[in-house]
Amino acid sequence: MENYADADVILIGSGIGALTCGAILSKLYQKKVLILEQHYEPGGFTHSFSRQHKWTWDVGLHYLGSLEPGGSTWRMLRYLTDGRLKFEAMPYRFDHFVYPDFRYAQPSHPVQFQIELEELFPDEKSAIAQYFEDLKAASSWHAKHMIGGFAPDLVAGPVNLLAWFSRKWGSLTTGDYLKSRFSNPNLRALLASQWGDYGLPPAQSSFATHAIVVSHYLNGGWYPVGGGRAVYDAFAPTIEAAGGEIRTRHRVEEILTENGAAKGVRVSIQKGKNREEAVFHAPSIVSDAGAVTTYLNLIPETVDIPFRQKIRDLQGHRSVVSLYIGFKSNPMVLGLRGENYWIYSGTDLDALEETQWNSLLEGNPMYAYLSFPSLKDPAAQYHTAEVIATCSSKTFERWRDTEWKRRGSDYEALKQRITEGLIRYIDQTIPGLADLIEYTELATPLSVEHFSGHAGGAIYGLPATPQRLAFEEIGVHTPIRNLYLTGTDAATMGVVGGAMMGGIATACVLGGSTGFFKVFGALNSGNA
């Protein structure tokens, strides 16, 4: 077994949370960062993959919000990547919501959005106006709740006090809020149509999480030029410039502790068909593997974690199937311009999800998300689409111990049924789309778990329930000295507003007493 002791900080996983944390530590503090990724492709859920040297798809990054040029998120990414990461604005009507009896396409302007909703639902005009005010209030509470968990006492004290006065937003579900405000079921469904962005239907999701995610897209959607892989390609040079390194095929098996402190990681390194073990040491260990994987899988049971059972109770078994489509010709011939489609078979979104988990397996999906990465990306040469539908990871449990691409004929038959059902479903919304398809490939929760290490293929991390927001033990800090979390579970749902903010939060903590002020000062400067 080899031993290494060169890094200042070890980061487990290479998602945008780890890349953000690593880039800040590298650029602002000249730390030598070692990022360890179990996949052969870096980038976590921002990575891309290709087939037949033609089609390229993203596995988790489908669009981003709050990227108006000159805005705060734009400045942060400019600083972190030295201006290497470029974005293309999606069409003005970027999200299309499709229901059996009506359709609506959301504009990239909150005032116009509100005006149109009030015209469509005149009886709900005052409630709609209040909704947009409540989005601001609940988002503000959520931001304070996050900041209070990692800021220095000088900031955290006043912020937590302000959050306490508006704490009602933390205990409210999206469903309860919508039912208390609106009588029209079509309007309630329309306002919750983007629930797939945070992973829970209205009856289960936190309204504060709904608010912060929905607000993220009120000014439209953007997509990285070059696809998801461009995110990693833009961040990596920042980390490498300070002597850092990003290693793939390095699976962390255990976080090593001694006397209540993390001191390193035990790693399994894939070399061809074989694996070799190594130990890496560093003064600080940061996990971007999620709270479930970190606390339940990477830290030995002999190490006391008082809230392990709370994590088990909260984690759930929600995941997704993703259908990757390669076209033989340009789908723009059907009038498509790169917008997303949220397609539903009814307006009771909670009931649809309950039905979906069985009907999807029979080739009869109840809802799906459809996007066209090639139409969003000016650098794309071949045309693609992605169809995503939520499912239960328990459905695929019987094949969990089989090998990737060798799971048997019954598994392949199930995948084919799901594939055919999803194609029929999207073709009903966009007639003629099925005729353009040349290639398909379906990824199940087993694929997600195989490549990401997230148990059950849980792409969202801990579910975005009010109980999750009340789970104060989960954040940047851990019960083990020198061990920190980053990414989504250190902040909230989403890529930029969630995982990236988790990376920023962890970098603030590692920066010491002045870290919060120094990090945000640098990020807000936007200096490349």
> How many other C-beta atoms can be found within 10 angstroms of the C-beta atom of residue 323?
23
pLDDT over 90 for what percent of the chain?
84
Alpha helices in 301-345 (DSSP H): 308-315
pLDDT-derived band at 197 (thresholds 50, 70, 90) equals very high
Record the pTM: 0.95
State the Rg of the chain over Cα: 22
> What are the residues whose beta carbons fall under 8 Å from the beta carbon of 417, sequence distance 6 or more?
361, 362, 363
Cα distance between residue 290 and residue 301, in whole Å: 17
Query: Does the structure show a pLDDT above 80 at 3?
Result: no
> How many other C-beta atoms can be found within 10 angstroms of the C-beta atom of residue 412?
12
What confidence tens digit (pLDDT) does each residue in 241-296 have? 999 999 999 999 999 999 999 999 999 999 888 899 999 999 999 999 999 999 99
Q: Which domains does the chain have, with CATH numbers?
A: 2-87+225-296+483-525 (3.50.50.60), 109-218 (no CATH), 317-455 (no CATH)
From residue 380, give the alpha-carbon distance in Å to each of 63, 328, 341, 384: 15, 14, 20, 9
Strand locations in 312-436 (E)? 318-327, 340-344, 367-371, 384-392
Cα distance between residue 453 and residue 268, in whole Å: 13
46-60, 217-231, 406-420, 457-471: least confidently modelled range: 457-471
Number of helices and strands (H, E) in the chain? 18, 20
* Single-letter code of the amino acid located at 238: T
- Check residue 451 and report its DSSP letter: H
Torsion angle in degrees (nearest 10) through CA of 114, 120, 123, 125: 10
pLDDT of residue 317: 81
Q: For residues 371 and 342, is the Cβ–Cβ distance under 8 A?
A: no
pLDDT of residue 239: 97
Torsion angle in degrees (nearest 10) through CA of 431, 432, 435, 440: -50
Q: What is the mean pLDDT of the chain?
A: 94
Tokens standing for residue 431: 């007639």
Query: Does the structure show a pLDDT above 70 at 480?
Result: yes
Tokens standing for residue 221: 């959607």
* Mean pLDDT (whole number) for 173-191: 98
pLDDT of residue 457: 79
pLDDT of residue 60: 87
Query: Does the structure show a pLDDT above 80 at 1?
Result: no
> How many other C-beta atoms can be found within 10 angstroms of the C-beta atom of residue 100?
9
Instruction: Produce one character per residue of 455-466: b if its CB has 16 or more CB atoms within 10 Å, e if not.
Output: bbbbbbbbbbbb
* Mean pLDDT (whole number) for 450-473: 86
What confidence tens digit (pLDDT) does each residue in 360-377 have? 999 999 999 999 999 999
pLDDT of residue 2: 59
Chain mean position to CA 240: 25
